Amino acid sequence: MVKIFLNGCCGKMGRAIAAMCKKNDEFKVVAGCDVVSSDELGFPVFTNPTECDVEFDAIIDFSNAKAVPMITNYAVTMGKPFVCCTTALPDETVAEILEASKKIPVFKSANMSYGMNVLFELVRQATRALFPGTDIEIVEAHHNRKLDAPSGTALMIADVISEETDNALEYVYERHSKMEARGKNELGISSIRGGNIIGEHEVMFISDEEIVKISHSAQTRDVFGKGALTAAAFLVGKDPGYYSMQDIVSAAFN
């Protein structure tokens, strides 16, 4: 059993992970940390991680950008594996996480869904097979409360394509201001916002004769929690280093 210290345990994803662990004998949240304490989760919650007096195997972080430096330092101090799921981090925080990976195993992926990371690999292979004979377009859809557009995951997909095309494509986010035909060097990225869409991404490889589509749709936010738990189990016993979901996915493809 992997014993988890859960940072950001009172947030939506924190509560989702706590609920998942109650139904899974392979994981147990033994302690958590959040800005306010709570007695309803079934494990002790601390407002400062250094107050924790419970033994654990790995840290999972689903908090916010401001909280990440503190939990990163705590992970290094404790010498524990660290799974960072918080996104939209400033460059200096990313640098701190990279520095921490020299001392402890660190797992960081902008998207914690195993299925989405399988999509990244499928897109990589499709790009090799179909470019430059096709136009490539990415369409992503999320709930109406999401602030950023395009999504970070859509940009990750675009970066995978860019790597495979030797950076030959220009990211184009909107075309309403351009009264001209689509250029062959364009990579179109479109965003949809509405309702309670958890996350949908589709990549289209379009030629004159056919269209190849690769898509992923998250049905529940639990998919990200499941990925975080998978990452925690993966890190236990690993040497210091910087790991991502691609390390897990690549083993399946190999």
Q: Specify whether 146 is located in the same domain as 202.
A: yes
The rounded distance, in Å, linking the Cα atoms of 150 and 154 is 6
Q: Specify whether 65 is located in the same domain as 128.
A: no
pLDDT at 37 over 90: no
Coil, strand or helix at 116: helix
Q: Specify whether 120 is located in the same domain as 241.
A: no
Q: Specify whether 96 is located in the same domain as 132.
A: no
Q: Is 21 inside a domain boundary?
A: yes
Among candidate residues 3, 28, 80, 146, the one labeled active-site is 146
Q: Burial-class residue 44 by CB neighbours within 10 Å (0-12, 13-18, 19+).
A: middle
Among candidate residues 142, 201, 216, 226, the one labeled active-site is 142
Q: Specify whether 146 is located in the same domain as 183.
A: yes
- Is the C-alpha dihedral spanning 81, 86, 90, 91 positive or negative? positive
Q: Specify whether 9 is located in the same domain as 91.
A: yes
Per residue in 163-180, pLDDT (tens digit) is: 999 999 999 998 888 789
Q: Is residue 64 within 8 Å of residue 87, measured between CB atoms? A: no
**Residue 163: its pLDDT value, please?**
97
**Residue 109: its pLDDT value, please?**
84
For helices 114-130 and 245-253, the axis angle rounded to 10 degrees is: 60
Tokens 């289209």 belong to 204
Q: Is 190 inside a domain boundary?
A: yes
Residue 142 annotated as catalytic: yes
Lowest-confidence pick of 88-92, 128-132, 200-204, 209-213: 88-92
User: Which two tokens mark 246?
Assistant: 């691609």
Q: What is the CATH number of the domain that holds 39?
A: 3.40.50.720
Tokens 């925080």 belong to 93
Q: Specify whether 96 is located in the same domain as 149.
A: no
The rounded distance, in Å, linking the Cα atoms of 34 and 36 is 5
The rounded distance, in Å, linking the Cα atoms of 153 and 197 is 15
**Residue 137: its pLDDT value, please?**
98
Per residue in 199-252, pLDDT (tens digit) is: 999 999 999 999 999 999 999 889 999 999 999 999 999 999 999 998 999 878
User: How many domains are there within the chain?
Assistant: 2
pLDDT at 254 over 80: no
Coil, strand or helix at 105: strand
The rounded distance, in Å, linking the Cα atoms of 32 and 220 is 23
Residue 176 annotated as catalytic: no
Per residue in 110-125, pLDDT (tens digit) is: 789 999 999 999 999 9
Q: Is 253 inside a domain boundary?
A: no
- Is the peptide bond prior to 105 cis by the omega test (within 30 degrees of 0)? no
Q: Specify whether 236 is located in the same domain as 148.
A: no
Q: What is the CATH number of the domain that holds 167?
A: 3.30.360.10
How sure is the predictor about 253, in pLDDT bands with cuts at 50, 70 and 90? confident
Using CA atoms of 158, 107, 4, 25 in order, give the dihedral in degrees to the nearest 10: 70
pLDDT at 81 over 90: yes
Q: Burial-class residue 207 by CB neighbours within 10 Å (0-12, 13-18, 19+).
A: exposed
For helices 68-78 and 91-100, the axis angle rounded to 10 degrees is: 10
On average, the pLDDT of the chain sits at 94
- Phi, psi at 140, each rounded to 5°: -125, 150
Q: Is 250 inside a domain boundary?
A: no
Q: Is 252 inside a domain boundary?
A: no
Q: Specify whether 7 is located in the same domain as 106.
A: yes
**Residue 221: its pLDDT value, please?**
83
Q: Is 87 inside a domain boundary?
A: yes
Q: Specify whether 208 is located in the same domain as 238.
A: no
- Is the peptide bond prior to 150 cis by the omega test (within 30 degrees of 0)? yes
Parent domain of 38:
2-112+221-245
The rounded distance, in Å, linking the Cα atoms of 18 and 122 is 31
Q: Specify whether 24 is located in the same domain as 59.
A: yes
Q: Specify whether 147 is located in the same domain as 205.
A: yes
The rounded distance, in Å, linking the Cα atoms of 74 and 68 is 10
**Residue 76: its pLDDT value, please?**
98
Q: Is 251 inside a domain boundary?
A: no
Q: Is 96 inside a domain boundary?
A: yes
Q: Is residue 228 within 8 Å of residue 62, measured between CB atoms? A: yes
